[in-house]
Structures are given as C-alpha cells and as structure tokens.
Amino acid sequence: MPLTYISGTGSAVPSKVLTNEDLEKIVDTSDEWIRSRSGIERRHIAGDGETTATLGAEAARRALEDAGVSPEEVEFIIVATVTPEMFFPSTACVIQDMIGAKNAGAMDISAACSGFLYGLSVADRFVGAGQFETVLVVASETLSKITDWTDRNTCVLFGDGAGAAVVRQSPDGERGIIKAILRSDGSKGGLLYMPAGGSRHPTSHETVEKRLHFIKMNGREVFKVAVEAMGEASASVVEGAGYRPEDVDLLIPHQANIRIIQATAKRLGIPMERVYVNIQEYGNTSAASIPIAIDEAKRKGALRPGDLVVAVAFGGGLTWASVLFRF
C-alpha cells in the first residue's frame, strides 16, 4: 500500500482560561498540588456558544487551509470525541455541514483519549487502499461539560480544545504513516467512565441527583495502567518498524500527566528534550491532546517535515494506541 501522510494540521482552543488559582476557589486544592502531581497550570474552557462542533470545525478549517485543500475536496470526515454534540446525528455530520464539506461521508469514533490515533489509523487505511484521496481527521472535546466541578480528584485535570489533520497520499513515499498499534482492555472500563445517559442508565432524576453524568475516575489505577501501556506501545511501534529510539526525532504523548509522560519517555529511551509537552497550558483535552500538540509543535518549529515521530495515547475504554510516522 502507498504511504499516506499528514498534509495539513490545525487546532482551536477556547480563549477562556481557568488557572490553578481559579480552581483553589472552587474546590479544596492548591496550585502546588496540581502542578507537582500532574504538571498542569492552566486549561482552556469553552465559553458561551462554543461546543465540540464549533471548536472542531475551526480546527478543521485551519487544517484545510494549511493543506491547501478546499472543503469540497474532502471525501471523508472522522471525528474523535467523547463529548459529542448529542448522541445523533454524529458530531462529524455537524462539522461536515459547518465547514461545507458537501462531498464527504462522516462518522464519529469513540475511543476517548486514543481517539485521534484510532482515527488517523482508519484514515491511513482508507487513503492507502485508494478508497479516498482526502480524509479529514478531527478530534474535539469539551470535557468541561462532563466534569464534576465539585470533585477535586478529576476537575483539576481536564480542559477543552480541538485539533485536526488532513490525510492524503504521500507526495514522495518518504513522509507518511509507517506503523500503528491499536489496543484495548474493556475489562478495565470502570476505571474511567461516565456512567449515565446511555442505554444502561438512561437519564432520569435519579441519575442526575447521583451525579452520574460526570467523569468518574480511579486516578491511581489509571495511572499505573497508563504508564505500562504507553511505554509498551511506543517501544513496540518503534521496534516493530525496525527503528531504534535514537532514530526518533520527537515523541508526542497524550498530555494527561507529566509523570506519565516522563515514564513513557524513559521506557522508550528518549530524553525529555525530544518529547513535546504542553500539558501546563491545556491540561488533558482527551482525543484533542495529540493533534493540538502536533499543530503547536509544527508552528513553533519543534516539528519539521521529515521528522520521525512517535505519537502515543491512552484513555477510557480502556484504549491505547501508538503511531509511528515521518511528518
């Protein structure tokens, strides 16, 4: 199969910022605790009129502009999110309409924080197989809408934002997606989830009273699995493709916790100078975290065409994924 590559990137985050100091006024926490345990200093929170689709559409427009592709040329849209506009229609359909991609099919992917890498991998196969020339992968989240702002165990960790990538056939057979690893362990789904609102616990007065429409997490257990899974997945994708850690120019990990990121880099054998970190600014934006990091790294010159990149994510499901690509 021919290689496919990321031909354009874009991102969009809300302008409204919530600092650790702001959170000190809402729950019993401190800037020192949040910084030392997670690495987070600020996060961006959707304001009035900002939703998963509006942020996703803005990121998508920027990615299309970056790639020099018109909305009409997009043949398929994949949106990764756990905070969709609604159950149906899919957020992908809402974004398809917003950006005027009138020739595109559209679907959502639910793989939590691994969603962008799952989506990128699906796009890679569609383009590689010749089904489509141009696929748009969007990851957008407004986790603030499902965050329990009375629960200090979770509310300090999450933020809102969106990232997008245009995927097309590689122009030179050098730049492109080399290998992907996609994994899951549904038996541990209860470590990180939103219990109600679906068919198991449909919305009722009781589910609302019990605060079951918010993120529930066993942080300590999630931490352990994340360190193991992200380390293993990133090392395997490099080794499996016949590369060595020293060949990797940049590791772009899911931005959930600086200590998980450091452990992943150590396991992979890459110094922190070659790891992209922006968790201090955005917190954990779930599926959006990696495409925001890719777009930002590119704009800052930390990611250049031809660089060998490992992107690795972990999240609810549980799911985890790693993708090796030459940018």
Catalytic site positions? 113, 254, 284
- The residue from 16, 33, 195, 207 that contacts ligand COA (CB under 6 A) is 33
* 315 binds ligand COA per the rule CB under 6 A: yes
One of 126, 214, 223, 282 touching ligand COA (CB under 6 A): 223
Rounded to an integer, what distance in angstroms lies between the CA atom of residue 74 and that of residue 248?
A: 31
Taking CB under 6 A as the rule, does residue 320 contact ligand COA?
no
Cβ nearer to ligand COA, comparing 106 with 222: 222
d(CA 241, CA 257) in angstroms, rounded, equals: 27
Per-residue binding letters, 240-279, with ligand COA (x by CB under 6 A): ----------------xx----------------------
Quick one: which of 17, 24, 29, 249 contacts ligand COA (CB under 6 A)?
29
> Between residue 41 and residue 80, which ones bind ligand COA under the rule CB under 6 A?
none
Long-range CB pairs of 299-303, under 8 A, 24+ apart, other chains included:
302/250, 302/276, 303/250, 303/252, 303/276, 303/327
Helices 219-240 and 258-268, packing angle to 10 deg: 30
- Distance (Å, whole) CA 40 – CA 3: 36
- Concatenate the DSSP letters of all residues of 196-260 into one string: SSSSSS---HHHHHTTTTS-EE-HHHHHHHHHHHHHHHHHHHHHHTT--GGG-SEEEE--S-HHH
The nearest distance, CB 95 to ligand COA, in angstroms, is 23
Which residues, listed in sequence order, are joined to residue 142 by a DSSP beta bridge?
A: 160
Could you say whether residue 222 binds ligand COA (CB under 6 A)? Answer: yes
The footprint of ligand COA on residues 125-184 (CB under 6 A) is 152-153, 156
Report the residue number, 112 or 120, with the smaller CB distance to ligand COA.
112
Q: Does the protein bind ligand COA through residue 189 (CB under 6 A)?
A: no
Residue 187, judged by CB atoms within 10 A of its CB (0-12, 13-18, 19+), counts as exposed
Single out the residue of 59, 78, 101, 113 in contact with ligand COA (rule: CB under 6 A).
113
- Residues within the interface to ligand COA (CB under 6 A): 29, 33-34, 37-38, 113, 152-153, 156, 192, 217, 219-220, 222-223, 226, 256-257, 284, 314-315
